[in-house]
Amino acid sequence: MAMDLKRTINYQTRIFLLVCVFSWIITFAFLVLQITREREYKVGMLNARLQEMNRLVIRDYENGVDIDSTYMHYLNPSGDVRISLIDLNGKVVYDSSGKEVLRNHADRQEVKDAIISGGGYTIRRQSETNNNDYFYSATRGKSIVVRSSMQYNSELESLLSINGLYVLLIVATSVVLTIVAFFASRRLSKSIAMLRDFANCAEHGDIEGFDVSSFPKGELGDISGHIVNLYKNLKQTAEERDRNLQEAMFEESEKNRIKQQLTNNINHELKTPVHAIQACLETVIDMGDSMSEASRKELIEKSYQNTKRLSALLADVSIITRMSEASDRIEVEQFNLKDTIESVADEVLNLYPADKNIHFDINVQDNIEINGNEGLIESIFKNLMVNSVLHSGGNEAYLQCRKGNDGYAHIVYYDNGKGVPEEHISKIFERFYRVDKGRSRVNGGTGLGLSIVKNAVLFHKGTITASNRPTGGLRFEFTLRL
């Protein structure tokens, strides 16, 4: 039941009611205390006034002055005070009202207190003589007790009443405090309510649109904002951790897939030259001396060409493996890009006879310095140039290289060959991918050249694209970080 009530009454109302009850209890206690103290003060003042009158009567009585109506008129001209003389046994020997009082007054509280301690008073009691309410004050002399009394009328009521303005001031102050408590509890509960809303959003995983700046200003608002920001940072860190873990797992899975694919492709590619060499040598061995010298020479020449192809394949596989598996151990140094490109061009030209009429038009700025692996850079340009010579069907290639303001060398390479069918453009950088499988094998291609080009460019933090030129030939655009 109590829990249901708490859920029904919101946090602001509970705080407000708690503060109101507490403040009004304090206000009521303070008001009662102050009223009591003020009343005691006024009663004390009135009693002191009557006690002074009593002492005058005692003095005159003990000095032999007749206490009669003339004396009373002189003592109290207004007649608002009634004087009674009572002996120590409680018998009334004189009363200024003029009425005979027969009843013994020894049991009256103010009289008993006066006999015992010298003075006493009773705030309000009805007189048996005239049935009116009186305030009594008694004082003891040597042989007599003088008691003065004042009838409760509007004047005495006003004298002993509490100051209404004072009470109104206290109540008004409490009302103001209640209003302040309302707004304070509203401000406090706003932060609590927003934290609750944030907790609900966090539970459902939707905190992106939660505005921290909407928290109220103040310590609780600041703490609430810090809690929200802390949770957001932790959530972001956890998401980044999970994302990095997924990326790492994907990369590892991709590496394993590529490694398996590479192994299968290598196994397939190795079989062709190995089987060719084996077939040639088996034929030479089986036929022995019966084979003509020309046939023997032809088979040995085919075996030699396949060993060269096998050697090239193993060399390319070594480069690919080194970039994929041990890129962090590849050494880098600074070198001039123009010198490297011109050296590769001379090497490629020397591989082919002059009657092929091969020409490379190279235009490279002199001051381009690369901080990388020169061997991999050489493989980029060597594979592009050899690819143009063997597979493009053209005899000219053009290379332009300029230093960019973005920290990269920008390179354009193209030939005057026949290009590549558009459906193959997106796949030419894949390992062992061949546009014309039969022709590339005849020319000694391994199917890894352009894959080496792409991976070497990526190793040097660059990018590469390939496209067909409108006038014919294949065009490569790539960058290398300076």
- Dump pLDDT digits (tens) for 299-349: 888 788 778 767 766 776 677 677 766 667 788 899 999 999 999 999 888
Please, are residues 313 and 273 in contact by the beta-carbon 8 Å criterion? yes
What is the predicted pLDDT for the residue at 338? 93
Query: What spatial distance separates the first Cα and last Cα of the chain, rounded to whole Å?
Result: 76
Of the candidates 378, 374, 382, 376, the residue with the CA atom closest to the CA atom of residue 352: 382
Strand 119-126 vs strand 133-140: parallel, antiparallel, or unpaired? antiparallel
pLDDT in tens, 172-217: 877 777 777 777 766 666 666 666 666 666 666 665 655 555 555 6
Q: Which position has the higher pLDDT, 95 or 267?
A: 95
Per-residue confidence (pLDDT) for residue 439, from 0 to 100: 46
Supply φ then ψ for residue 82, to 5 degrees.
-100, 130
Question: Phi first, then psi: what are they for 366, rounded to 5°?
Answer: -75, -30
**DSSP letter string, 86-121:** EETTS-EEEETT-----S--TT-HHHHHHHHHSEEE
Please name every residue paired with 82 in a beta bridge, in sequence order, or none if there are none. Answer: 149
* 189 to 9, 176, 181, 239: CA distances (angstroms): 12, 20, 12, 32
What is the DSSP secondary-structure string of 322-383?
Answer: HHHH-GGG---EEEEHHHHHHHHHHHHHHHS-GGG--EEEEEE-TT-EEEE-HHHHHHHHHH
DSSP secondary structure letter of residue 208: T
Determine the Cα–Cα distance for residues 318 and 316; give it in Å rounded to an integer: 5
The one-character DSSP state at 443 is: T
pTM (2 decimals)?
A: 0.44
Contact 307, 277 (CB under 8 A): yes
- Tens digits of residue pLDDT in 386-436: 888 888 888 899 999 999 999 999 999 999 988 888 888 888 888 777 665
